[in-house]
Structure 1
Amino acid sequence: MADGMQSSLKQSDSATLALLGKKQVLKRRFSFTSLFAFAVCELITWETVLALFSQAFDNGGPAGAIYGFIIAWLSTMSVYTVISELASLAPIAGGQYYWVYMLAPPRYKTVCSYAIGWLTSLAWIATVATETLFAGTMIQGAMIIDNPDYAGTKWQGTLLTWAVITGCVLINVLIPQWLPRFEVFILVFHIAGFFAILVTLLVVTPTLGTHAS
């Protein structure tokens, strides 16, 4: 049954790409669940808020943090709504640079597609650098909390960042067939971590009445 479903999906993919004038080359590895897990984890929602909340709070106060979050959420939602519509219209691995070529005026198709392709590539490179640095410094922060005698240094944080990068590369290169399952595992870990931190904050944070007394 699984083989039949996989064959049906492959035929559907090939037919969709044929309508766009493309031939299927890549092998389907991700299911809807694993793709959803990847998208959720890629957004690093509560992790980013937890790490960067103090900056918004210090610069704008409680109101600035709340309204800034709402503005950022609406802005991000508008961008991803457009991307979702384009992805459903033309599900091509190239993504943005293909959509730009498809929709841009004929005179500017090539130059716009070239520019967007490079900008997208640079954005992915920057995202990898940012998220691995973020993960490395979070690991170092956990080490500092667990061991007060440990004095974290910048070069150690850099080594932890490279360790995270190495782990990601090894997973993608050596065991790519496990990547979809790993994404689902990270999604479960992501959701569990959110509730673990939320419950901890609710328990250890003093109430308004206790603080006032």
Structure 2
Amino acid sequence: MKLHGLCQLFKQEMGGCIIDVVPSYRSILVSFDLMTIGHQSFVQKLQHVLDHCRGSLAEEAEPSLIELPVYYGPEVSLDAKVITDHTGLSFEEVINIHASTLYRVYAIGFAPGFAYLGNTDQRIAVPRKKTPRLKVPACSVALAERQTAIYPRESPGGWQIIGRSPVNPIDYQRKNLSLFEVGAKVKFIPISKTAFLDMGGVLSQEEHSLEDQRFQEGV
């Protein structure tokens, strides 16, 4: 049974005593209200759902598709050289491979709204940094092993930065807080620097001063 479907089942059958249901790659964290139900009773009810209600699950609807614009320009692709040196590809090839893949949201964690997306093409699989950056700019799009992600806010991070999106995946006015939910599909759409700025993308003063130029082959 898919984790997403099981999460929906828990919410449907036990919504009155559940506080939150958080899926990950191979497990689900279920938080419950001790003021509503005791621990033993909760475990028994959870087991009952697992034993008797699986067949009541309707076939899962097609997961939503999130199209996320990304600027892959030289001002924001901080680890372009690291990535091209490791893969042996030109950065244009890396961009084409990254943007041509349809990803799935496997888990959300590390920070609010940080979604682990997979799987990246093996050709652009790169290791995490040995020494993480102290500050990764908000909305940076990054690679690590067979995963890709977008940093919702400025934070430390050890993933390899490939670009930046004008769309922040965190919105505190949104009911679910995050743009992402486990099971959703994500497609990255390359955009120009002009489009990035027009859509609300942010560059630092230092980044603004850099000339918008093509990468040398293999850089």
TM-score by length of 2: 0.24
Structure number, greater radius of gyration: 1
Structure with the largest fraction of helix: 1
Structure with the largest fraction of strand: 2
